[in-house]
Amino acid sequence: MSKSRRKHSWRCCALTEAITSLYIHIPFCASKCFYCDFNSYVASEAVRAQYVDDLIGELKNLKRWYSAERSVEPLQTIYVGGGTPTMLSAREFERIAEAIHGQFALASDLEWTVEANPGTTEPDILRAMKEMGVNRVSIGTQTFNETLLLSIGRLHSPEQTRISVERAYAAGIKRVSLDLMLGLPDQTLVDVEDALSQALATGVSHVSAYGLKVEENTPFFSWEKKGFLHLPDEELQVAMYERVRERLIDAGFLHYEVSNYAKPGEESRHNLTYWRNRPYFAAGAGAHGYTGEMRYENMRSLSAYHHACQSGARPIEQEYPVSLQEAMENEMMLGLRLTEGVSDRSFFERFQASIEQVFKPECERLLKLGVLTHRDGVWRIPEQHVEVANEIYAEFVGIHT
Ligand SMILES: C[S@@+](CC[C@H](N)C(=O)[O-])C[C@H]1O[C@@H](n2cnc3c(N)ncnc32)[C@H](O)[C@@H]1O
Ligand code: SF4
């Protein structure tokens, strides 16, 4: 594998590209699910209220800190994730939204998504969201099996998922996505079939189906080490993945990213920003942003974040410049997750270099193995190899140090 150091000057258009996406993190949950290592805390109303003030302070500075001399075009996408954003009161959500409206121009076809947990979708918060411009919700469903929900630490019932979807529609939010999880302890193919039937019955236009990752510092991690978790074997996990794909494609969904399915035109434009390696602002404790020149990660701890915001400082835990090599590797690693793949033309436009030159040995090897294709100027991972996709992406990362 090539370890050559490349001498390109880093003048790709990402540097001058306007930042038109914004991620906002709401780090609160009613309790912690047993598998989850997202930055979220069980906190009092007073702590949540303080956080909203801090976040608004950060939002007011974002453009000044991160867009440098770049022209700031209207935001095309906003994503409010968590944690559980729907734990905010309607007024708190409105205050955050007012700060966004006050700071940014918003595109007329803005996509604005909020993550919602079943059981926290009161009509008043959904109404406030809709009134402030939210037009898409992503509901953390995981499974429709009541016992399984309990065993992974979820607080809601399957019925509450259905109610959340109905309430979103009733509030006028027409684009709804459901998150499902695969490979849960003791989950069967029948559970997955049932989750798909029930998800489809709600009429949603987008489904994400994530394979469980056992993350460090979670109860699942220590239970697995002690041998208490009965995870489906690899064969069953692959069967689940394939069943999801078959059922959703039969129902008219496009499999547009490894874990994501959408009715035509219903893809998450915000998440496409990440996979297409485009820049985005990020605000909130533990949020990660990308300006095109550097990546930054905000402080995870609520008190550290609070103190930084109070003093008007950037609440940064770390930031680092993105080298040309890293940007090109990310372009491949992220872009190959998409069915649309990575095109020679867009890569060349961004980096003034060709994929075949930059990643010559990797491309040759993967093409020969049949786990990468190159047709009509587009590089893709063939569907039958998507399950080994992580190993394929890894080929493109950290090779030019
Ligand atoms: C940002 S999380 C949280 C969304 C929301 N708080 C919820 O749980 O309903 C978005 C999704 O990531 C998925 N997820 C979280 N932790 C995971 C893990 N360890 N492995 C696989 N998927 C995970 C879940 O499907 C979850 O709905
Ligand atoms: S999965 Fe969602 S609800 Fe559960 S702890 Fe993580 S962020 Fe909170």
Whether 390 has a pLDDT exceeding 90, the answer reads no
pLDDT class of 289 with cuts at 50, 70, 90: very high
3 state DSSP class of 263: coil
Ligand 1 centre from 212 Cα, in Å? 9
Cα dist. 166→85, 120, 126, 142, 230 in Å? 18, 13, 11, 17, 34
Strand partners, 294: 321
Give the pLDDT band (50/70/90) at residue 4.
very low
Quick one: tokens of 339? 């069915």
- Residue 69 above 70 pLDDT? no
Q: How confident is the model at residue 110 (pLDDT cuts 50, 70, 90)?
A: very high
pLDDT of residue 398: 66
SS3 187: coil
Q: What is the pLDDT of residue 23?
A: 98
- Ligand 1 nearest atom to the CA of residue 35, by list position: 19
> Which tokens sit at 86?
């729907």
Task: Quote the CA–CA distance of 41 and 23 in Å, as a whole number.
Answer: 18
CA 28 to centroid of chain Cα atoms: 17
Residues 6+ apart with CB under 8 A from 248: 196, 200, 207, 255, 261
Question: Ligand 1, residues 38, 136, 223, 271: which to mutate, most atoms within 8 A of Cβ?
Answer: 38
Q: What pLDDT shows up at residue 73? A: 85
Beta bridge partners of 78: 22, 112
CA 37–ligand 1 middle distance (angstroms) = 9
Query: What ligand 1 atom has the least distance to the C-alpha of 118?
Result: 9
pLDDT band at residue 288, thresholds of 50, 70 and 90? very high
The mean pLDDT of 164-171, rounded to a whole number, is 97
pLDDT-derived band of residue 187, with 50, 70 and 90 as boundaries?
very high
CATH for 13-275 is 3.80.30.20
Q: Which atom of ligand 1 is nearest to the CA of 33?
A: 8
All structural domains of the chain with their residue ranges: 13-275, 341-395
Closest C-alpha to 51, from 379, 315, 331, 317: 315
| Lookup: tokens for 2 | 């090539």
Helix/strand/coil percentages in the chain, nearest 5: 45, 20, 35
Averaged over 178-206, what is the pLDDT?
A: 98
Give the residues across from 77 on adjacent strands. Answer: 21, 111
Mean pLDDT of 206-229: 96
Q: How confident is the model at residue 401 (pLDDT cuts 50, 70, 90)?
A: very low
- Average pLDDT score, the chain: 92
Cα dihedral 272, 273, 275, 277, rounded to 10, equals: 160
pLDDT score for 293: 87
Pick the ligand that lies closest to the CA of residue 220: 1
**Residues in a beta bridge with 288:** 297
Q: From the centroid of its chain, how far is CA 183? A: 19
| Measured torsion, CA atoms of residues 148, 150, 153, 155, in degrees rounded to the nearest 10 | 120
Q: Residue 8: is its pLDDT beyond 70?
A: no
What pLDDT does residue 61 have? 93
* 37-48 tens-digit pLDDT: 999 999 999 999
For the segment 181-191, the average pLDDT, to the nearest whole number, is: 97
Q: What is the mean pLDDT of residues 237-265?
A: 96
Of 61-70, 119-128, 349-358, the range with the lowest mean pLDDT is 61-70
Which residue has its alpha carbon closest to ligand 2 atom 6?
Answer: 36
Report CA-CA distances (Å) from 3 to 12, 362, 397, 400.
Answer: 22, 11, 11, 5
Give Cα 130 to chain centroid, integer Å. 21
Burial of 234 (C-beta count, 10 Å sphere; 0-12/13-18/19+): exposed
| Range 8-22 average pLDDT | 68
Give the pLDDT of residue 387.
72
Mean pLDDT of 221-250: 95
Tell me: pLDDT of 10 over 60: no
pLDDT of residue 71: 65
Does the pLDDT value for residue 98 go beyond 60? Answer: yes
In order, the DSSP letters of 109-143 are EEEEEEEE-TT---HHHHHHHHHHT--EEEEEEE-
User: Which residues share a beta bridge with 319?
Assistant: 296
CA of residue 56 to ligand 1 center, whole Å: 25
Give the pLDDT score at 64: 87
CB-based pocket (< 6 A), ligand 2: 29, 32-33, 36, 38, 40, 82-84, 117, 140
Per-residue pLDDT, 395: 82
| Helix, strand or coil, per DSSP, at residue 371 | coil
